[in-house]
Structures are given as structure tokens and as C-alpha cells.
Amino acid sequence: MEALKLYQFALCPYCGKVRSALRLKGLGYDTVEVNPMNKRELPELGEGVPRKVPVLQIGERFVWDSTEILLELEKRFPQPYPMLSEDAQARARAEELEAWVDEELTFALPTVIYGSISEARKAAQVTARTSNFGLWQNFAVRVGGSVIMHQVAKRMLKKRGKSDGHRWMAELTDTLEGKLGFGRFFGGDAPDLGDVAVHGALSVVRDFPVFQDLMARPALQVWYEAADALMGHSLAGASRAA
């Protein structure tokens, strides 16, 4: 079995998706926390490849972009839980939910975890805590990172024409509850790609107040507990196969 190494930011929802998928598949992996200020730890992947996380190293091979990584994992490790159903309709629903997570939820989350400068400071501390950065880098991430994160949150709100991140998040929580309906998982009786995407993105905000708002919805709480039993992981997450 080839070694798996995930280059990540602990608080990046796309990286959360990959950690959830790795856990669902029962795969052990190591993580490398990338310094968001200089991305020095990220391997050189050639011209045209975005300097972004997540990147998953599988043996000697590198795969980037969370969706591509999930598809690669599905191809190589279809069991024990397939993320993509053979049924075309179910598959389309799962892909649609994953796209919604990538294009909506992932943009709203930073606006509530870095929305105020004190929230941004807390987020930067989490990043510093989950990394192996040296003393100076650690300090720079705590101070510089919180300012940058706060700016990113403000830019995202403006770009999406929103004024209040918490209100935006409440709207998305309603949507999420609607998508869950009465099923145990978004994918029905078993989790699928949609469950992996939602679980991964939400797991990064577990230590933030917004998570309590989400868990105040009983259906979402029941779903999260069931999903977390299968895909739960820590943010720093060097993890061995179960």
C-alpha cells in the first residue's frame, strides 16, 4: 500500500473534504501543514498548477484539487463505502451537493470564522497550533495570518453581495436541512460524495460558535453524529488506518 501524505491548511474546507474521504475509506495518512503566508512546504508541481491546498501525495504521485483527489480515491479504493452510486440519479445528486459545498458553503464559512478580528485571531491560533512551524513562523502566522484571514472574509462577503456572514450561514443551514430531508445521510442509507463534502467542510468549524448554530438543528445534529462516526478526524490529523 502506497504512503498517503496530505498537504493542507487545517482550516481549509477543501482539505476537510479530503480528510473525511480518507477516513471513510479507512486509509491511514500523514499531514503536512502548509504555512499560508509563503506555502513553502508545498511541493513544486510544475507550471500551471495552482499553489493551493489540498494536494495529496500517493506514493510518488501528486494529485491536486479536492474533487480530483476524491475521484482518485474512489477509483483506487472503492470500498468499504463507495462515494459514487451506480444509480445515475443518486450520483448526480451527490455531485450536485459536492459542487454546492465547493461553491457556496466553503465561501460562507470563512466569513463566520474570520468575520471579526477576534474570530480571525482565534482561527490563526488554531492554524499555528496544528502546525510544526518554527517559533518565528508560528508568531508570523498568528499575527499576519489573522489580519489576512479577516481581509479574505471581508472580500468574500463583498464578492457575494452579502453584508452579514452569520445571516448568510443561517440561509445555507436552512438549505442544508432541506437537502437532508428525512434520510439518515444525504446519500440515503449510506454516506456518499455529498456527505463527505458536507462533513469535511463542517468539521473545520467544529471549534467555532457557528458549529453550535448548526447543531441546534436536530436533523443536522443526528446526521453529523452518524457521519462523524464513519469519517471523524482531527484537524492536524496524521492518522493511521483503523
Residues of this chain that interact with ligand GSH (CB under 6 A) are 9, 12, 14, 52-54, 65-67, 102
> Which of 9/185 has CB closer to ligand GSH?
9
> Which of 56/220 has CB closer to ligand GSH?
56
Shortest Cβ 15–ligand GSH spacing (Å): 7
Shortest Cβ 24–ligand GSH spacing (Å): 17
> Which of 67/188 has CB closer to ligand GSH?
67
Shortest Cβ 9–ligand GSH spacing (Å): 6
Shortest Cβ 170–ligand GSH spacing (Å): 22
> Which of 54/145 has CB closer to ligand GSH?
54
Report helix angle 106-113 to 13-24, nearest 10.
120
Report the C-alpha gap between 170 and 174 in whole angstroms.
Answer: 6
Contacts of 152 (CB under 8 A, 6+ apart): 110, 114
In whole angstroms, how far apart are CA 92 and each of 50, 193, 224? 27, 10, 22
> Which of 147/219 has CB closer to ligand GSH?
147
Report the C-alpha gap between 238 and 21 in whole angstroms.
Answer: 14
Shortest Cβ 39–ligand GSH spacing (Å): 7
Give the burial string for 87-111 (b: 16+ CB within 10 Å, else e).
eeebbebbbebbebbbebbbbbbbb
